[in-house]
């Protein structure tokens, strides 16, 4: 297939957190509001005069200083983010909005404040307590958290306008982005897609880490380009797979899967678009902040809630995604020492491979990774074997 016009530019933007567009937005007076979890409402941090930045630590291979503060048994994502903060890689941010997703993440975020890592006298840190259950009361509690820990303090400290008008404008801009990403993502459902999983991964990460107002024109161009793009005469891949798991913010991971013969057609992980790129609906009689609280509480599929009802629902969600995107198998990944995704991977792998409490079985490949993807050789062997097993299963299927 013909190379995408902006792909190399997008790849370059992902080489560091303080990239060209982030620097431009800061120079123009916008405030960079950082976050680390998909529970944090993006539009809330993308109101006029601000832009959201999902923190990554590209190229971090030895988080030695962070390990001193957080021990060897902390997940490498959290340690890598903290290491990059010690290096001064996030000096451009004005605030960090965290969420009590796990003790390790929470502790890492607290060190931004405890160790005075950001050279900004007005730097603000907050940690939101996200409810474990879904429902009207819990949405109200979440809304109050957003008011008490985000909109109120940021308005007072930086003069940010979180009025109904500005929030609705931010949601409208966010919804346009979501429509673009959903249409591009749906192209992966085709028998012979016009976009690779690697390309989609790069584009998705750019939408999370760059000021949206500065990339929208290139996203629109990319969508139009993909609408006209012609796929290769024959599919280049041997099997269709879905990746589900914790933090996968290195496109090299997806590229490795595809170099082994699989095309990644669905991205159900913490930096992915499923869920995460759905249009936010403001219902009649509902204000914008209510809509944000309800949307991010109802749509999120984080493994943090570990009750039976939530666990069963997440298995069904994975199964339905695999069928919708015609994935022949699922790669289940968790970051080493990630407690929530460690349990999630083991349970999902067992249930889906045996078809327990879902309509049918789906082959799975369970892996444990570190943030730097150091064990590339082992992963390549596992992926090659998994893709080959899916291909053999398809060839032996009586339906073919």
What does pLDDT average to over the chain? 94
Q: If 0-12 CB within 10 Å is exposed, 13-18 middle and 19+ buried, where does residue 302 land?
A: buried
Average pLDDT over residues 165-182: 98
Q: Is the pLDDT of residue 64 over 80?
A: yes
- Residue 143: band (very low, low, confident or very high) from pLDDT cuts 50, 70, 90: very high
Quote the pLDDT of residue 231. Answer: 94
Q: Is the pLDDT of residue 375 over 80?
A: no
Q: Is the pLDDT of residue 138 over 80?
A: yes
Is the pTM value of this prediction over 0.85? yes
Decide if 335 contacts 341 (C-beta within 8 A): yes
Average pLDDT over residues 93-110: 91
Report the alpha-carbon distance of residue 67 to residue 169 in Å, rounded.
Answer: 42
Helix/strand/coil for 333: strand
Strands 93-99 and 124-128: parallel
Report the alpha-carbon distance of residue 316 to residue 348 in Å, rounded.
Answer: 10
Average pLDDT over residues 201-225: 98
Report the alpha-carbon distance of residue 195 to residue 199 in Å, rounded.
Answer: 6
Quote the pLDDT of residue 73. Answer: 87
Average pLDDT over residues 234-250: 95
CA distances from 348 to 300, 355, 389 (A): 17, 10, 19
Percent of the chain at pLDDT above 90?
85
Report the alpha-carbon distance of residue 95 to residue 115 in Å, rounded.
Answer: 15
b/e string for 188-209 if b means 16 or more Cβ within 10 A? beeeebbbbbbbbbbbbbbbbb
Q: Is the pLDDT of residue 331 over 90?
A: yes
Quote the pLDDT of residue 306. Answer: 83
Report the alpha-carbon distance of residue 350 to residue 175 in Å, rounded.
Answer: 36
Helix/strand/coil for 388: helix
Q: If 0-12 CB within 10 Å is exposed, 13-18 middle and 19+ buried, where does residue 291 land?
A: buried
Q: Is the pLDDT of residue 373 over 80?
A: no
Quote the pLDDT of residue 102. Answer: 84
Torsion angle of C-alpha atoms 289, 292, 294, 296, degrees rounded to 10: -150
Name the β-bridge partners of 332. Answer: 244, 366
Q: Is the pLDDT of residue 246 over 60?
A: yes
Average pLDDT over residues 243-270: 96
Q: If 0-12 CB within 10 Å is exposed, 13-18 middle and 19+ buried, where does residue 380 land?
A: middle
Report the alpha-carbon distance of residue 362 to residue 322 in Å, rounded.
Answer: 8
Report the alpha-carbon distance of residue 348 to residue 345 in Å, rounded.
Answer: 5
Quote the pLDDT of residue 154. Answer: 98
Which of residues 377 and 148 earns the better pLDDT score?
148
Report the alpha-carbon distance of residue 241 to residue 399 in Å, rounded.
Answer: 19
Render pLDDT for 270-303 as a digit per residue (tens, 0 to 9). 999 999 999 999 999 999 999 999 999 999 999 9
């Amino acid at each position: 297939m013909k190379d995408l016009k902006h792909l190399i530019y997008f790849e370059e933007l992902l080489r560091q957190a303080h990239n060209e567009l982030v620097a431009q937005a800061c120079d123009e007076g916008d405030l960079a509001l950082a976050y680390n979890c998909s529970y944090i409402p993006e539009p809330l941090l993308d109101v006029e005069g601000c832009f959201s930045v999902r923190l990554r630590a590209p190229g971090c291979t030895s988080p030695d200083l962070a390990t001193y503060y957080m021990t060897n048994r902390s997940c490498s994502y959290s340690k890598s983010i903290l290491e990059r903060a010690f290096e001064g890689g996030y000096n451009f941010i004005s605030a960090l909005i965290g969420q009590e997703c796990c003790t390790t993440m929470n502790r890492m975020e607290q060190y931004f404040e405890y160790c005075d890592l950001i050279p900004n006298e007005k730097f603000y840190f907050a940690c939101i307590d996200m409810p474990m259950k879904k429902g009207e009361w819990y949405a109200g509690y979440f809304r109050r958290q957003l008011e008490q820990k985000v909109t109120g303090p940021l308005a007072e400290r930086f003069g940010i306008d979180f009025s109904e008008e500005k929030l609705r404008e931010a949601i409208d801009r966010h919804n346009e982005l979501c429509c673009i990403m959903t249409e591009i993502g749906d192209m992966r459902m085709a028998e012979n897609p016009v976009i690779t999983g690697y390309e989609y991964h790069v584009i998705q990460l750019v939408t999370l880490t760059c000021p949206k107002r500065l990339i929208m024109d290139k996203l629109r161009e990319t969508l139009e380009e993909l609408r006209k793009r012609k796929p290769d005469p024959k599919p280049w891949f041997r099997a269709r797979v879905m990746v589900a798991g914790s933090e996968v913010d290195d496109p090299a991971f997806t590229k490795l899967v595809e170099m082994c013969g699989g095309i990644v057609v669905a991205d159900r992980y913490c930096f992915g678009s499923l869920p995460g790129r759905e249009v936010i609906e403001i219902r009649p009689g509902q204000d914008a902040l209510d809509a944000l609280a309800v949307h991010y509480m109802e749509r999120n599929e984080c493994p943090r809630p570990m009750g039976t009802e939530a666990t069963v629902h997440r298995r069904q969600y994975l199964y339905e995604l695999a069928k919708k995107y015609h994935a022949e198998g699922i790669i289940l990944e968790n970051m080493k020492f990630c407690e929530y995704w460690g349990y999630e991977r083991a349970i999902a792998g067992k249930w889906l491979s045996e078809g327990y409490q879902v309509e049918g079985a789906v082959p799975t490949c369970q892996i444990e990774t570190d943030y730097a993807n150091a064990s590339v050789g082992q992963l390549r062997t596992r992926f090659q074997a998994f893709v080959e097993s899916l291909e053999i299963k398809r060839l032996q299927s009586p339906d073919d």
